[in-house]
Structure 1
Amino acid sequence: GAEPGVYKVTSCGEGSAVGCVQGTSHEGYGTVGVIRDITESRRNVTALRQALKEKELLLREMHHRIKNNLQVISSLLSLQGRSLVDETAKEMFRASQARVQAMAMIHEQLYSSSTNFSCINMARYIDDLCRQLATILDVAPTRARLALEVDETLAFEVGTATSVGLLINELVSNSLKHAFLNTSEGTIRVSLSVVAADRFVLAVSDDGVGLPAEYTVRDDAALGHTLVQTLAEQIDGTVSFDGSDGTTVRVDFAAECDSCRSGDDRSL
């Protein structure tokens, strides 16, 4: 007798797709089956695929426009900064440009993605961000070596990635500008690791001049350190400093990223 199976046939005259499921019993001389019209189901799947495609196009265009607008702001800050004579004012413009670039790079990665428009691969982002920082601050690669320790598969949603990116921007910028005043070269390490379910640690350290004893971020009125505290609070984080051997800043924070880490199934 015939093996049980699923068959697709076309109804006479209408071209509808139907599914036919043959029974498993082979006793007797006939076949009992169930036929159901799946035309509407097929139409729904096609409509869903089209809607998903349109959504992805809209998201890509949105991230592209945001990235372009932020790049314009960055360029304006760069042009304005070059026209200044006062070095303190120039440094302020460079710092603002770096912050804008940190946000622009988030949308650049999302725009370039072909599969996921909600999560940021942190290893790629942090590498690009640190390189961009050295360029903006005009720091020679031989003066400050960057060492990155980030899980290649680690990804965060846009909001968390933006906060972490701005934290790295402030901390690495501070090391690049102040850590190696008494030496011709040094190393800056950036690590991002998982310590528990939905708990992470960002650590930025350098082997430079270090910090005064008992230093805390709340004791410093500088904008960069105020931003560090504010950004850490946005991701339910705490900031700690260690200035005994160079400078190490550790941010323990929370992030929910199950969908990003497990991947996004878009198949239909």
Structure 2
Amino acid sequence: MFPRSSELYYNIQNSKGILFVVLSGAVIFFLLSREKKSQSQLHESIKDFESSIQTTIQEKSILVAEIHHRVKNNLAIICSFLELQKEYISNDASDPGLRAFHKSINRIKTMSIMHEILYENPGSMQVKFGKFLSGYWSYIQRASSIYLNRLSGQVDFKSDSLSESLDFGLGVNLGIITNELVLQSLENSFSKTDPKAVISISLFKKDGQFCYEFQDNGSNRQPTDWKEGLGMKILESIAVQIKGKFSLNDTEGLHFSLQFPEN
């Protein structure tokens, strides 16, 4: 009887072991299945979240682009109003009032060009300064007959700017500086006796700083009081704003140099 009981006991214990293994496997399988399902659900949730973020970014990019487009259009309307008002001022190119109107229009147009660049690149708050210079100079050739008509020929515009993009605010500031210098150059540096008028602008990096250079080859620089005028105040104000230092030489032509930190 004892051997049989021992055998029975052994079989029972063996059955318990097998049952334990089976149950353990079933539990493990169940847990793994739940984990796999949870991972799958988590993955789907992440995909949905990423898709939602992407949609939001696209919607905001479209909204920002539309804002820049409307700002550009509003600035264009202001320029149009000023152009209409200009009709009531003397057509004499030497009239200070006419020149003041023209400069105001150019300042507004400078900012408009920057907003147009951002509108063409939705989702970005960066501008390529070289692209601005190209658009700006095209505008000057069309709209600045008050200065260009008194010259013997077209002004040769040369630019050498960074290929990398600039923050929008910095781009606007450099654009405004460029406009003030270009108008001052066209107004007082050249005459019909100059064989070829050349304006050169460059923007580069040196020793961790941005360097902006403006120069013309005018040989007929006229003495003016522009250093006490609004244009110079604008240059000084922007230099302080971007923590820069500039030098100016207008004895022979106009040469302006500005250095300011990258950040």
| Shared fold (TM-score, shorter chain, > 0.5) | yes
Aligned counterpart for 1:90 among listed residues 85, 98, 114: 98
**Larger deviation: 48-57 or 238-247?**
238-247
**1:200 & 1:210 partners in 2: Cα distance?**
30
**2:77 & 2:119 partners in 1: Cα distance?**
17
Aligned counterpart for 1:191 among listed residues 191, 199, 202: 202
CA contact (8 A) 2:219 2:253 kept: yes
CA contact (8 A) 2:189 2:221 kept: no
Pairwise CA distance, 1:143: 3.6
SS at 1:192's partner residue?
strand
CA contact (8 A) 2:215 2:255 kept: yes
2:228 is matched with 221
CA contact (8 A) 1:120 1:158 kept: yes
SS at 1:43's partner residue?
helix
**2:193 & 2:112 partners in 1: Cα distance?**
33
2:118 is matched with 110
Pairwise CA distance, 1:129: 1.3
Render the CA deviation track for 1:47-76: whole Å, top value 9, x for unaligned. Answer: 111111111111011111111111111111
Question: Is the aligned partner of 1:80 residue 2:73?
Answer: no
1:251 is matched with 258
1:7 is matched with none
Question: Is the aligned partner of 1:42 residue 2:47?
Answer: yes
Render the CA deviation track for 1:8-55: whole Å, top value 9, x for unaligned. Answer: xxxxxxxxxxxxxxxxxxxxxxxx997312111111011111111111
CA contact (8 A) 1:82 1:90 kept: no
Distance 1:241-1:210 versus aligned 2 partners, 3 A rule: farther
**Larger deviation: 103-112 or 200-209?**
200-209
What percentage of residue pairs aligned between the two structures are identical?
23
CA RMSD of aligned residues (A): 2.5
CA contact (8 A) 2:106 2:179 kept: yes
Aligned length: 219
CA contact (8 A) 2:245 2:259 kept: yes
2:17 is matched with none
Q: Identify, as 1 or 2, the structure richer in helix.
A: 2
Runs of 4+ off more than 4 Å: 210-213
2:19 is matched with none
CA contact (8 A) 2:117 2:127 kept: yes
CA contact (8 A) 1:210 1:243 kept: no
TM-score normalised to structure 1 length: 0.75
**1:104 & 1:212 partners in 2: Cα distance?**
31
Pairwise CA distance, 1:252: 0.9
**2:183 & 2:138 partners in 1: Cα distance?**
11
CA contact (8 A) 1:130 1:172 kept: no
Pairwise CA distance, 1:245: 4.5
Pairwise CA distance, 1:83: 2.5
2:180 is matched with 170
What runs of 5+ residues in structure 2 fail to find an aligned partner?
1-31
CA contact (8 A) 1:61 1:111 kept: yes
